[in-house]
Amino acid sequence: MKRLVAQLLCSRALALLCALAAGAAPAEPAEATKTVESADPTDKSEDSESPVQVDSGLLDRGHDSVERNLVNWIDGLDRFFADENYSATTNESFVRIAPGILIRDGGQIRFKPRFRLNLQLPRTERRIGLVLSSRNADEDDLLDGGSADDDGFGAGLRAAIFDNRKTKLRLTAGSRFRPEPDPFVRLRLIRLRPVGGILLRPSITGSWELEDGLGERMRLDVDMPTGPRSLVRLRGDASYGESTEGHEFRASITHFFALRERTAWRLEGRIDSHTRPVTEVTQYRALLRYRWSMLRPWLFFEIEPGIRFVREDGFDPAPEAIFRVEIVFGSRKNMGIFEAGTKRSPAYDDSADSDDD
């Protein structure tokens, strides 16, 4: 009899521990709740009051939904403007071909084509892809470093070593051609951290190139929605390598504004500096890019006026403008800004109140 009682007690304790580990309530409180519910409703004693139960799973799902909408909306802007943040992390296959004309002060006209190929290799579960990219006026994850006016292109294989919604680790190996080949290997870690309606995106890159040697680069993006269709991005960028002029820094502020699903502009101000041979600012730059899609969802037009103040030219103003047409193939999302049904920033949605932990 004693052995039977001990076995019953042990089994009851084990069941209680399993229930606590699974986050479920034990059986006794549930029975007590039923007893209280069946009691006399006129009884005002403390024992007749049912505890308020909060569904923690519902709160977690609401919190995750707000974070996911915030990241998707910012990704939509980056995808629409062909920003490097999107190109460096996407596992989609697409081709962008964008012939353009650059007009500079003094009437200088230069043909400035731009192209980008992301091709995910079959039977690799979208983890290994072929990347081809030309040099362009934007930061480019494949042709990292050098001048935006350099001719040439780069080709490489990119492997997604680790890839989830908030952490991405990419290994890229290939070569730049300018025009002679310059092999490189690059490892990049990217984190996405939504905090109270703001998205933090720190990243660090280690690289080796045959011509430039070893190098490293750190970047922090702070994305802050400022309205139903607008976003401000603060970016700090620092790099150092065997071929750099000491530590090279870049700070920028960019304002995105979506007029419609396929029409938007971005206004950017930027400062470049280095620390060798002396610490000094090398360039100030401001530009406005207006981009829209019409006639077809895969056809885009861009107008980008801007102005530079370069130290080598005595900081004399140097206005310029770029006119570009871009054709996109293969994107499953048609390169629109908003996700399906989302027409405003999630940071300004009423449901965003559940973002607070």
Q: Average pLDDT of 317-333?
A: 87
Residue (of 266, 268, 263, 287) closest to 335 by Cα position: 263
CATH, residue 344: 2.40.160.40
Please tell me the total count of domains within the chain. Answer: 1
What is the C-alpha to C-alpha distance for residues 346 and 162, in angstroms, rounded to an integer?
A: 27
**Residue 48 forms part of a structural domain:** no
- The better pLDDT of the pair 5, 254 is held by 254
What is the C-alpha to C-alpha distance for residues 172 and 155, in angstroms, rounded to an integer?
A: 10
Residue 100 confidence class, pLDDT cut points 50, 70, 90: very high
Model pTM score = 0.73
Q: Average pLDDT of 279-302?
A: 92
Q: How far is CA 102 from CA 97, 110, 204, 241, 310, in A?
A: 16, 5, 32, 30, 18
Q: What's the angle, vertex CA 85, arms to CA 258 and CA 353, rounded to 5?
A: 60
CB 287 within 8 A of CB 308: no
Tell me: the pLDDT tens digits for 154-181?
899 999 998 888 899 999 999 988 778 8
DSSP three-state, residue 70: helix
Structure tokens at 80: 């629409």
Structure tokens at 167: 């952490």
**Residue 26 forms part of a structural domain:** no
**Residue 5 forms part of a structural domain:** no
Tell me: the pLDDT tens digits for 278-287?
899 999 999 9
**Residue 207 forms part of a structural domain:** yes
**Residue 104 forms part of a structural domain:** yes
Q: Average pLDDT of 34-40?
A: 44
Residue 36 confidence class, pLDDT cut points 50, 70, 90: very low
Residue (of 103, 80, 143, 83) closest to 292 by Cα position: 80
Q: How far is CA 165 from CA 90, 144, 219, 235, 277, in A?
A: 11, 24, 19, 21, 42
pLDDT at residue 23 tops 80:
no
Q: How far is CA 282 from CA 86, 249, 272, 315, in A?
A: 28, 10, 6, 9
Residue (of 80, 28, 35) closest to 338 by Cα position: 80
Dihedral sign of CA atoms 167, 172, 177, 183 in order: positive
Residue (of 165, 163, 231, 235) closest to 200 by Cα position: 235
Q: Average pLDDT of 117-121?
A: 89
**Residue 210 forms part of a structural domain:** yes
Strands 114-120 and 153-163: unpaired
**Residue 86 forms part of a structural domain:** yes
Q: Average pLDDT of 21-47?
A: 44
Structure tokens at 293: 């899609």
What is the C-alpha to C-alpha distance for residues 125 and 161, in angstroms, rounded to an integer?
A: 12
CB 156 within 8 A of CB 176: no
- State which residues form the domain around 257: 63-138+148-352
Residues contacting 185, CB < 8 A, separation 6+: 171, 172, 173, 207, 208
**Residue 143 forms part of a structural domain:** no
